[in-house]
Structure 1
Amino acid sequence: MLAKGFPRIREREILRVAGELGGSDAALAATAARHEVLKWAATQIGTALTADASQLEAFELFRGGRTCIAAGLVDEQRTLWALRVDRPDANVAARTWTTEVTLGYAAGNGRALFSLRLLVGSPEDELLIEPAVPAVVRQLAAACGLLQSGAPMASAPWTVVSEQDAEALVDQLLAPSRNITYLVCTVPEGETAPLINAPLLAKVMLGLARVVIVPAAYTWLLTRELGKSLSVYNGAVRAYLPGFSLDANPMAHRLYLVNWKPGEDRARAASTALRWMAANESIRRLELGSDVLAFSDVRQASLDHERERLRQTGGADKDQLAAAQAQIAALKDDLRRAADTQQWLSDEHKAAEERAQTIEQQLHGAHYRIQHLTDLIRTRGDEPDLDEQLPTTWAEFADWCDQVLSGRVALEASARREVRSAQFEDPQTAARCLLWLAGEYRDSRINGGNGDLRKAIDDGVHNDRCGADSFDYTGSNGRVTVEWHIKNGGNTRDPHRCLRIYYYWDEASQMVMVVSMPAHRRSGAT
């Protein structure tokens, strides 16, 4: 229990980094890396370390509020070594930084592996920091080489200098195997560099994200290949997370507008937001125990191994007792840190729930506002979508839906993917059908109708039940049954002439969700 007046210190994890060490000889690479880590640790605690990098020495060093602890383990399957450094913040009282580094390799199985965790203990409710990888990551990358997915970690941005580079960037963004975030920084027209400090961003995000600079002359290619809603241009920065695809939700791969208002330091604010995003993504993506090893896991494994060795070799009772006491002390330390982490996770979960509730309330308010303005336009004798310009190509169709039908009709991921490769010859007819869903159909549902609107919508196009072609679909709103579609006549399956728009009504969001279009969907009945 804390004494009255003393703030509670909470330990929070800031970021994780994982990769492979350069060099084909895992043992030599791990030894060289330990040497660099020990050199870095000496600068953190302010004294030279006498540990031999060629040995997996365990030691504890305490100096002036700074600690450095190492643990090692060698058995038939693996070689592990971990080090933890705790040091006080130079500017903020009661704030302590913890860096954990783990090096290891399996016997006869590929390269040596590296992982790192950065944590901070502090009484602050809000951390006013700009996350950055510890200098030891850059030191290892320079001296030993660090790799991710077989490619070297780069502490400098990649600058696109040709259309071939831009096409290669698109390929990398869409690669299913990509496991690192790409921060694509664009250069505005008439400028020679991004408005954000891309070289600094690449340096402090080494191992967390790859920074790419795209001059204005090549941003059009990103728009052509990815679509306007998923592209980035005019000085903005976009974070493309792993798993990005052409049917991705644009909000999941956030766009940062750096030059919103002249005279405001938006670049600094955007940089801070990007650093937090990449740091948080590293914690979400890299799993403890597999991608990243915690120092406590290596230390406990090492202590277990030593106790078992003493037992099997008949070690003296005092030695076995000392080993048991060391393990108990380590377990107490791990338990304290685990309790701090649990409290941090609980606080973060509560804050996330509150943010989600706020966003949901704002979304409901926006939907109500859209409906109110739509009704107001109609009371004045006008139609809200009467003068809307319809898309003439399928390439612009998804962007048109996002801009014109927002809050009323949305394309599910499957439909977004399909419209990009659609063969139906008349995208404007399809657009008019979605305007009908956004208008007459949606109004009927909001006013209590059951959606049973079998009627003509356009010349030769009508709304009807799917009948035997009904199907179950799992999308953004869970599992639903799709029972209605818009179709044209002619009894043809030719994708150039056949139009089908399969949709369902989502009561919670008061929106029409389009599941598949514009081709006929193959089913058990067809």
Structure 2
Amino acid sequence: MASSGSISIDANQEERLLAIKGSVISYITQKLGHLPTDIISADQYESLDGALSIETLKIDSGSIWAIRFSEPDDQTPGRSWSVEISVGKFNGEILVGFRLNCFSRNYDFDFNNSVPRILRSLVNNFSCSDYGYKLSQKPITIQSNSDSEFLYKLINNGKRWRNIVVVSCDDNFDSLVNYTGLAYKLSGAAHVAAITPSASFHLSSLIGKELSVFDRAVRLYRPNFSEEDQLTRHPLILRRQIDKVPIIIRRKFEEAIQRDCFRMSIERDGLAKVVPSFVDIRLAASKARLTALDRHRSSNDDLLTAEIEARKAAESQSESAMSMAIQEEELRKEVESERDNYRAQLYSMRNRAEVLEHRLSMAGEQVETGTRPTTYDDVSPWVEENFSGKLVLHPRAKKALKNAAYEDVGVVCETLSLLANEYRKVCLGEMRKEEFDGIISNKHLDMSGSISEERAREFGEEYFISWRGKKIFLHGHIEKGKSRDERYCLRVYFLWEPEDSLIVVGWLPSHLTNRLT
């Protein structure tokens, strides 16, 4: 995992810097035993066994002091841990970077995701903050409207790279997961918040019910949040998944939350620049010393020594990069395997549901559950209840429904039903297109392509949605009415997702911009 932040300067900067270094050295002394008495002032150091290294990089705008220490894992033979801490002094500001690396002979990276004590110490004792928000080893309590607005701003903060874990509680802040323990274990690596029912209600009014969290559930808000994100991008653990289950099951969910937060910490953009590794700092420092010696026409022996140091640093950087690449490849394989497993389960459940629906239909039973909506507020939950795995409303479409003006909600529901059932059969090769055209013609509907993709680009992002990390064109278009008055003109823009056999509705019920409008 990796973390970073800035530390406030209450007094003299040098005194503050010395206090931070002292805290780090004290922690390492407890881990490794006796250290040289003058090590805190050393610009460079290397222990005989290679367990501890110190490097200092001096540049025009300040300096970076970096320390790395390693220790074997007490529980797993062949595994070791490396902690890297960098403290930078730049133009009156102190910046701190932190990296925790796991090295294993067998690449078996299953371990307890909890930040080391030194990171909690830096966060708790030195007023560490990042992107304008104070970090803490304690959960944030959200109980008023202003608290919810604070949380909403944090969720939408474009500079945020940490997960936000929001735990829904009752009015007494009782919850189904140990949010205090999560905050402690994830100190500096994630934000953890506990929210009351009334505050959840206000958050829902700000962020939308689908992306909110309530009723004792838990939600992770990942970085780069957008209200057009797919719901699955910000995982939700429902009450029924963690209530009245064995404590070991609940702990598994907490461990999954911690793993996700650790993973997000190393996937942040520009990590190598914001939190440079020890080997990167050592390589830069070695090159700087070599350049300085050359500039001052130093002796050949000094130049040779500096050249050897720089070469060793470059080799160390290469080895570190290779080790990280292997770890990332193993993680990628694990994530892809997990994704394929979930997808296989989804396909199996969907096929079973479709077989049962077919049997009900053949027996003359009604397949749809509940009555069709009479207001646009009820359309989204009705779609989720009846067309799961067949048709989904993109977040942009759900947002458009809030301001819908088309006068006949029943026609909108009928159109969505036709897309989810009959048109999906056309896409799967189970119904002829001519047969479908006859069905919608009888209902005074017409289907065509929206506009050409080339022309769609003239109108910015209107005809495109973000889907599974890609920008995709809304190629399909079903309509009723020719009026330019939104009350009498229905338009539904959609696309077919072949990989998931899914209709994705990107906009409704009004017309998107074209040359006529």
Corresponding position of 2:188: 207
Change (3 A) 1:506 1:138: closer
Q: Is the 8 A contact 1:19 1:113 kept in 2?
A: yes
User: C-alpha distance in 1, partners of 2:313/2:268?
Assistant: 28
Q: Structure 1 residues 264, 151: closer, same or farther in 2, change over 3 A?
A: closer
Q: Which residue of 2 aligns with 1:346?
A: 329
- Structure 1 partner of 2:28: 41
In the alignment, does 2:65 pair up with 1:68? no
The amino acid of 1:501's aligned partner reads V
Q: CA deviation at 1:120?
A: 1.1
More helix by share: 2
Q: Distance in 2 between matches of 1:476 and 1:16?
A: 28
2:144 matches 1:144: no
2:371 paired residue number: 389
8 A Cα contact 1:228 1:399, kept in partner: no
Q: 1:111-155 CA deviation, whole Å, 9 max, x = no partner?
A: 222111101112355434221222222222233321111221121
* Structure 1 residues 361-380: aligned runs within 5 Å: 361-380=344-363
Aligned residue for 1:289, secondary structure, equals helix
Q: Do residues 16 (structure 1) and 2 (structure 2) align? A: yes
Distance apart, 1:421 and its partner CA: 3.4
Is the partner of 1:384 in helix, strand or coil?
coil
Q: In the TM superposition, what is the alpha-carbon distance from 1:225 to its structure 2 partner? A: 4.0
Letter in 2 for 1:202: A
Aligned letter for 2:229? Answer: A
| 1:511 to 2:502 alignment | yes
Please, which of 222, 226, 236 is the counterpart of residue 241 of structure 1?
Answer: 222
Q: Deviations over 1:88-116 (max 9, x none)?
A: 2233333211001112244x3x6222111
Which residue is equivalent to 1:438?
420
TM-score normalized by structure 2? 0.87
Query: Equivalent residue of 1:290, what SS?
Result: helix
SS at match of 2:55: strand
What is the rounded CA distance, in whole Å, between the counterparts of 1:399 and 1:225 in structure 2? 19
Name the Cα RMSD after superposition. 3.0
| Residue correspondences, number | 504
More divergent stretch after superposition (334-343 vs 461-470): 461-470
Unmatched 5+ residue regions in structure 2?
Answer: 457-462
TM-score by length of 1: 0.86
1:103 is matched with: 87
Q: Which stretch of structure 1 is more off in the superposition, 452-461 or 197-206?
A: 452-461
- Find the aligned partners of 2:472 and 2:222 in 1 and give their Cα distance: 28
- Equivalents in 2 of 1:264, 1:209: separation in Å? 23
Structure 1 residues 482, 219: CA separation in 2 closer, same or farther (over 3 Å shift)? closer
Contact 2:211 2:231 in 1 (8 A): yes
Deviates more, 1:131-140 or 1:364-373: 364-373
- Structure 1 residues 219 and 416, CA gap change in structure 2 (3 angstroms): same
Match of 1:282 in 2: 265
Partner residue, 1:355: 338
CA shift in 2, pair 1:505/1:93, >3 Å? closer
CA distance in 2, matches of 1:212, 1:496: 43
**How far is the alpha carbon of 1:457 from its aligned partner?**
5.1
Deviation of 1:210 after TM superposition, in Å, equals: 0.9
Q: CA deviation at 1:412?
A: 2.8
Where 1:421 maps in the other structure, the secondary structure is coil
Matched, 1:79 2:79: no
Per-residue CA distance 1:423-447 (angstroms, 9 max, x = gap): 3344343222211211222233331
Note the C-alpha offset of 1:157. 0.7
Equivalent position amino acid for 2:285 in 1: S
Flag the 1:394–1:246 CA change in 2: closer, same or farther, 3 A.
Answer: farther
Note closer, same or farther for the CA distance 1:76–1:475 as it changes in structure 2 (3 Å cut).
Answer: closer
Q: Distance in 2 between matches of 1:277 and 1:407?
A: 25
CA–CA distance in structure 2, aligned partners of residues 306 and 480 of structure 1: 51
Structure 2 contact 124–136 (Cα < 8 Å) conserved: no
Of 382, 387, 404, 2:386 maps to 404
